[in-house]
Structure 1
Amino acid sequence: MGDLVIGIDLGTTNSCVAIFMNKKLKILEYKSGGRIIPSFICFQPDGIVVIGEHAKNMAVHEPKNGIYEMKRLVGRKFDDPLLQKSLEYFPFTVSADFLNNPVVSFKQKGATVRKTPKELYTILLKELKHYTEEKLGETVKKVVITVPAYFNVTQREATLAAAEDAGFTVLKLLNEPTAAALTYYYDQDIEETHRSLVYDLGGGTFDVAILEKRFDNVDVVCVAGDTQLGGHDLDNCILEYVYQQLRDKYDYDPQCDSDDKRRLRHKCEKAKKELSDANEAVITINGMVPNHPKIKITLKRKEFESMADELFKRTIDILDNCLKDSKFSKSSIQEVILCGGSTRIPKIQELVSDYFGGKQLNKFPNPDECVAEGAALQAAMLSTSKRQTIEELKMVDVVPLSIGFDSLGDKMIFTIKRGSKLPASASHTYVNLDGNDTSFSIGIYEGERLDVKKNRHLGTITINNVTPAPPGQREVMFTLAIDLNGILTAKAKEKLCDNVKELKVEYTRGSISDREIKNSILAAAENKINDEKFEQFVKHKQYLIKYCIAVTYALEEQELTDVYEEMYNFCKETRWTADVLEMDEEIRVKELIQKCKRLCDKVVQSRQFQFMPQEV
């Protein structure tokens, strides 16, 4: 019959499991009766592990043992500024291991226990697997799991590893906005070309995706997002407000007590939800502040909207950049789809609607569930079970930013271009620069600028034991490939033999904010003229370096370094001088070219030096 495949939305705040079976799409209710499960783990002091709603409630009393927001820890280094910012609000302890990875520690049975974010993910996924099997009455091994579109390769790999440790085989990591679009389009009978924008604001992450549907094909045209922007950040706005009220009016700082921090966070989260339906919320604080047994802090919706205004506008800025990047007009977007629990906030709906000129928004009845439903639909498409037969929609994701290699003169070679459909693969052939070298290294970058130094370095791939050869006479092919799960790998192969090196590249957006990455696209457009000037500069710089290398190589091969000592030393020194010259030193590059030619050309011609570069 084939194994059943389920879909899991593994969220920062809540998780959700869904299945498409017997032509029905169904959310699997948790054993407590809820359709969504808080992504919460409480490690009780006696050794018992509790998960979900009960764990969230218990953590109010055991804040140091109640772990949440694992999604903001996974795949990051401890000193990551974005992770450090999250730590300000955690009542539990997070420290660095010897590799600078975050580790959560807590007390159980009198001993300190340490868990990595991946291990915490595994515990949560094991629980989801267990209750799913209880609900369906059979073993479930295969799954589709959703992740933010802007999850980096480390985060994706940690998710895959955690799922494997939990007993799952992951058939696909599906980007969250793509999953939401899949849910929307599955019920829509649209034959003509149709464009939609998905605005996905969840508990911990924000994604925007623009999709284009043609018959049964749905292409993801463009994505943007921020993996550190979501409902928890809105909770933090209210939390800071409450902190300040307690400091100013009662001379009490709740940040000194982890119990108080957790209790207040719970109340602030509740107040945020109340403000989606009411114009004001009352935060009641009992028995926390000395000499004040009961404190009431009133928060009006307008006050909340004011304190969260910057975060709201950040989502609109990301949306705007995504639309500009797609080169579509606002009027060409037929449907705006909201998903994620935080889209219940009235101000969010107002801002998005106003951005599109008052357009009516498509709001899922249960925005917390639509991503899981999309995962379940994708799962059915990948299933071999006859119980999961489904009319297939073909979903195609894209590469959000160009990825490529550096080349001589710091020029970016755009290998996989922005907007390329996944899976994507492309190659570029390099010839050796120096003569008789035995290793070859190339930097891998992400960005849209021609000057590779203005893009983001992702990693370096080195191939060793290559065949020695004169300058420009040995070829090495470098290939970049991104799979359907967004994992980037690099491969180097020497053309003359089977010498191959593979590298899994840390395709990470975690070291800088996603807003900065989006700004790189705008910077490329704004600096188009400068990039054209840079290209002309690089041509002269490359010629100068190649000329110097060819001359020094020829003099060494013909054992003429002593005979033409001045020429040899000048070219050797100029080769390294030219390497660090910048665009504003173009005149000096041209002067050095002329000086080289005056000093060397006669000898080059009379001695018939080989491998000389063609003039610019």
Structure 2
Amino acid sequence: MDDDLAIGIDLGTTNSCVSVYTKGRIRILENERGGKVTPSFIYFQPQGGIVIGEHAKTISVHKPENGIYEIKRLVGRKFDDTYIQKSLDYFPFEISSDVSNSPVISFKQNNTRIEKTPQELCTIILQELKKYAEAKLNQTVNKAVITVPAYFNVTQREVTLAAAKSAGFTVLKLLNEPTAAALAYYLENDIVENHISLVYDLGGGTFDVAVLEKKFGTVEVLCVGGDTQLGGHDLDNCILEYIFEVLRNDYEYHAKMDPDDKRRLRIKCEEAKKELSSANEAVITINGVVPKHPKIIITLPRTLFEKKASKLFQRTIDILHNCLVDAKISKESIQEIILCGGSTRIPKIQEMISEYFGGKQLNKFVNPDECVAEGAALQAAMLSTSKKQDIEQLEMVDLVPISLGYRSLGEGMRFVIRRNTKIPTKASIMCTNEGDTSGIFEIYEGERTDVRKNRYLGKLFLDGLTPAPPGQRSVIFTLDIDNNGILTARAEEKVSNTVSEVKVNYTRGDRSEFEIKNSLLDAVENQEIDKKFKKFVKMKEKLDAYLSSFLYNLDTKNLSEKYRSVQIFCSERMNDLYDMEVDQENTVKGLYKEVKIKCNAIAERHNFEYMP
């Protein structure tokens, strides 16, 4: 028995797949039904027991509210997330909020209400995959590389790691899905050096695009883009909305109101989408749904499906385009376009990608459902110490998809790690802390200079600091991203030897994703606004530093009573300054002049220290 044997797992939204590399070849590990992919579907039997996979999908028709799917799209989100709120109309099972605003899935077993978190549900699927792998390999398997969407945030990655640990795995690495597909392609084909490829990965629940370059024994990720709320299930929903519309208009029946109908119709829509990949039209037969109409037949031409889904198709091309523009890579320099993910079988998508690249031929994997798991297996072999898994080493270099930083006093974004920095990475910045003996760092991700336009990640508290005059205490603030894309924030004050550290979660803030604009496109569209805001923030911070030092000197030199009116004036101006916005730039300029006129003479007369 080889205890060091490591496997690769594609934990997918729609389907999951397990693969292993041994003795010079990749092997997909089939499930107990002989399938190479296992639907990521869990059915909780009403009288107790759990069924997973294809059979779970089949029997859930009898009690759809106990059939749980698309779990991956719930991972690491808050209940008020716009995706979850919009999805409530489509899911037949119940999703509610716990005390921390996280989603929980509810169902009944043995007449008892049961609640499961997305993490617990992922654990159940991973346990099943582990069981399949061990049965096929005839040994215990504890080590794995697990793939995640490139745009999975820290919370989603940590939940995946925690679920894997609960399932009995030691995760050697969380590997980005498009990187896994590229790895499979590079190692299975004789690719020359300095080869640039683009991976277009449209799966059931997520979309990723990545530009990669192979050179000198490494595969470097030049740029990534994606959307964790865009995939095959959204295309299913386009068809489902059309069916709802037909039933409502032609038969006066509102199928959305019945969870049984929604589940049955959704299966029909998924089948129709698959059929349209090879046929010009799909026939959807609906039996026993609409009263007085035991059988309804709806014909769906491929052209109509393409029209209904055109915005989603175009969204993938826009993300692809922005990825290339961001990396400053021309279309002509892309030597290979690699398709993976089941939704890339759709002819219109292939046509749009090829058209974008001027009619370039696409590289289609024999089975796009398996290539990500194969890439994970190859990476697992590279990290394994098993003698059975000797393999050519190819270093994978990933990038930070979104810039990271913290909030400055003037509401500005103080960038620490810029997007497209290689992972793992660690960056520090020296900053002054204005608090008395404590400090707070609010951490954000985004590209806007106005921190309020970016996504709030979390807070780091630093207590027990050395008392110091304003602007004279130095704190080293560090952001560290490991191989799994987990972000750790650290703040340290050397004098008191005070250190604080936190693993940052992307969903600690009160705002939903709907309220936060953090995309590169948003930053590009608002470049001029951001330049003006950056200048305004510096002005505010300069005035704040002057007022803080002036008030500090009044207090330490016991001059507060003598200059009471000036002290009150400065305190009030500090309060006013906090609420001022960029359109009040002239007001801040005028205020700065007014403060200097009132305070400079006093500061010079009494030899004030630490004045900026």
TM-score by length of 2: 0.96
Unaligned ranges ≥5, structure 2: none
TM superposition shift of 1:529: 4.0
Partner of 1:441: 440
Look up the equivalent residue of 1:465 and give its one-letter code: G
TM superposition shift of 1:348: 0.5
Inter-CA distance 545–110: structure 2 relative to 1 (3 Å threshold): closer
Partner of 2:337: 336
SS at match of 1:517: coil
Is structure 2 residue 316 aligned with structure 1 residue 308? no
SS at match of 1:556: helix
TM superposition shift of 1:581: 2.2
Inter-CA distance 553–252: structure 2 relative to 1 (3 Å threshold): same
| Structure 2 Cα separation of the partners of residues 583 and 484 of structure 1 | 39
Q: Any conservation in 2 of the 1:487–1:507 contact (CA below 8 Å)?
A: no
Tell me whether 442-451 or 377-386 shows the greater mean CA deviation.
Answer: 442-451
Q: Any conservation in 1 of the 2:202–2:343 contact (CA below 8 Å)?
A: yes
Partner of 2:372: 371
Partner of 1:362: 363
Look up the equivalent residue of 1:524 and give its one-letter code: A
Partner of 2:209: 208
Q: Any conservation in 1 of the 2:454–2:518 contact (CA below 8 Å)?
A: no
Inter-CA distance 10–462: structure 2 relative to 1 (3 Å threshold): same
Is structure 2 residue 554 aligned with structure 1 residue 593? no
Q: Any conservation in 1 of the 2:455–2:516 contact (CA below 8 Å)?
A: no
Partner of 1:481: 480
Look up the equivalent residue of 2:401 and give its one-letter code: P
Identity %: 62
Q: Any conservation in 2 of the 1:429–1:476 contact (CA below 8 Å)?
A: yes
SS at match of 1:106: strand
TM superposition shift of 1:168: 0.9
Q: Any conservation in 2 of the 1:42–1:65 contact (CA below 8 Å)?
A: yes
TM superposition shift of 1:514: 12
Partner of 1:55: 56
Q: Any conservation in 2 of the 1:226–1:515 contact (CA below 8 Å)?
A: no
| Structure 2 Cα separation of the partners of residues 478 and 74 of structure 1 | 29
TM superposition shift of 1:100: 2.0
| Structure 2 Cα separation of the partners of residues 305 and 158 of structure 1 | 35
Partner of 2:265: 264
Q: Any conservation in 2 of the 1:225–1:514 contact (CA below 8 Å)?
A: no
SS at match of 1:397: strand
> Which runs of structure 2 are paired with 1:28-427 in the superposition (5 Å)?
28-427=29-428
Inter-CA distance 16–140: structure 2 relative to 1 (3 Å threshold): same
Look up the equivalent residue of 2:268 and give its one-letter code: K
TM superposition shift of 1:517: 3.2
Q: Any conservation in 2 of the 1:2–1:384 contact (CA below 8 Å)?
A: no
| Structure 1 Cα separation of the partners of residues 5 and 248 of structure 2 | 55
SS at match of 1:59: helix
Tell me whether 249-258 or 372-381 shows the greater mean CA deviation.
Answer: 249-258
Look up the equivalent residue of 1:539 and give its one-letter code: K
Q: Any conservation in 2 of the 1:2–1:386 contact (CA below 8 Å)?
A: no
Inter-CA distance 421–93: structure 2 relative to 1 (3 Å threshold): same
Inter-CA distance 525–247: structure 2 relative to 1 (3 Å threshold): closer
Inter-CA distance 513–333: structure 2 relative to 1 (3 Å threshold): farther
| Structure 2 Cα separation of the partners of residues 41 and 491 of structure 1 | 39
Q: Any conservation in 2 of the 1:94–1:104 contact (CA below 8 Å)?
A: yes
Partner of 1:570: 569
| Structure 2 Cα separation of the partners of residues 107 and 587 of structure 1 | 63
Is structure 2 residue 558 aligned with structure 1 residue 559? yes
| Superposed structure 1 runs of 4+ greater than 4 Å apart | 513-516
Q: Any conservation in 1 of the 2:448–2:518 contact (CA below 8 Å)?
A: no
Query: How big is each residue's C-alpha offset from its partner over 1:338-389, in whole Å with a ceiling of 9 and x where there is no partner?
Result: 1000000000000111111111011101000000001000100110000001
Q: Any conservation in 1 of the 2:180–2:375 contact (CA below 8 Å)?
A: yes
Q: Any conservation in 1 of the 2:453–2:517 contact (CA below 8 Å)?
A: no
RMSD of aligned alpha carbons: 1.8
Look up the equivalent residue of 2:359 and give its one-letter code: G
Look up the equivalent residue of 1:76 and give its one-letter code: R
Q: Any conservation in 1 of the 2:445–2:518 contact (CA below 8 Å)?
A: no
| Structure 2 Cα separation of the partners of residues 534 and 293 of structure 1 | 63
SS at match of 2:46: coil
Partner of 2:12: 11
Q: Any conservation in 2 of the 1:153–1:508 contact (CA below 8 Å)?
A: no
| Structure 2 Cα separation of the partners of residues 389 and 589 of structure 1 | 66
| Structure 1 Cα separation of the partners of residues 590 and 205 of structure 2 | 55
Query: How big is each residue's C-alpha offset from its partner over 1:541-563, in whole Å with a ceiling of 9 and x where there is no partner?
Result: 22211111111111111111111
Inter-CA distance 536–105: structure 2 relative to 1 (3 Å threshold): closer
TM superposition shift of 1:508: 5.2
Look up the equivalent residue of 2:494 and give its one-letter code: K
| Structure 2 Cα separation of the partners of residues 8 and 319 of structure 1 | 26
Look up the equivalent residue of 1:150 and give its one-letter code: Y
| Structure 2 Cα separation of the partners of residues 46 and 75 of structure 1 | 30
Query: How big is each residue's C-alpha offset from its partner over 1:586-614, in whole Å with a ceiling of 9 and x where there is no partner?
Result: 2222222222222122221121100000x
| Structure 2 Cα separation of the partners of residues 214 and 513 of structure 1 | 40
| Structure 2 Cα separation of the partners of residues 354 and 430 of structure 1 | 49
TM superposition shift of 1:8: 0.5
SS at match of 1:458: strand
| Structure 1 Cα separation of the partners of residues 250 and 462 of structure 2 | 65
Query: How big is each residue's C-alpha offset from its partner over 1:297-343, in whole Å with a ceiling of 9 and x where there is no partner?
Result: 11111111111111111111111111111111111111111100000
Tell me whether 500-509 or 292-301 shows the greater mean CA deviation.
Answer: 500-509
Tell me whether 206-215 or 359-368 shows the greater mean CA deviation.
Answer: 206-215
Query: How big is each residue's C-alpha offset from its partner over 1:426-460, in whole Å with a ceiling of 9 and x where there is no partner?
Result: 111122335xx111112212222333333332222
Query: How big is each residue's C-alpha offset from its partner over 1:451-478, in whole Å with a ceiling of 9 and x where there is no partner?
Result: 3333332222220111111112211111
Inter-CA distance 470–542: structure 2 relative to 1 (3 Å threshold): same
Inter-CA distance 98–533: structure 2 relative to 1 (3 Å threshold): closer
TM-score by length of 1: 0.96
| Structure 2 Cα separation of the partners of residues 62 and 562 of structure 1 | 77
Partner of 1:610: 609
Tell me whether 345-354 or 452-461 shows the greater mean CA deviation.
Answer: 452-461
TM superposition shift of 1:112: 1.9
Query: How big is each residue's C-alpha offset from its partner over 1:167-221, in whole Å with a ceiling of 9 and x where there is no partner?
Result: 1111111111111111111123333311111110000111111111113111111
Inter-CA distance 141–513: structure 2 relative to 1 (3 Å threshold): farther
Look up the equivalent residue of 1:14 and give its one-letter code: N
| Structure 2 Cα separation of the partners of residues 14 and 277 of structure 1 | 21
Look up the equivalent residue of 2:454 and give its one-letter code: N
Query: How big is each residue's C-alpha offset from its partner over 1:136-169, in whole Å with a ceiling of 9 and x where there is no partner?
Result: 0000000111111111222111111111111111
SS at match of 1:489: strand
SS at match of 1:543: helix
TM superposition shift of 1:575: 2.0
Look up the equivalent residue of 2:48 and give its one-letter code: G
| Structure 2 Cα separation of the partners of residues 538 and 97 of structure 1 | 38
Inter-CA distance 528–296: structure 2 relative to 1 (3 Å threshold): closer
Query: How big is each residue's C-alpha offset from its partner over 1:100-158, in whole Å with a ceiling of 9 and x where there is no partner?
Result: 22221222222222211111111111111111101100000001111111112221111
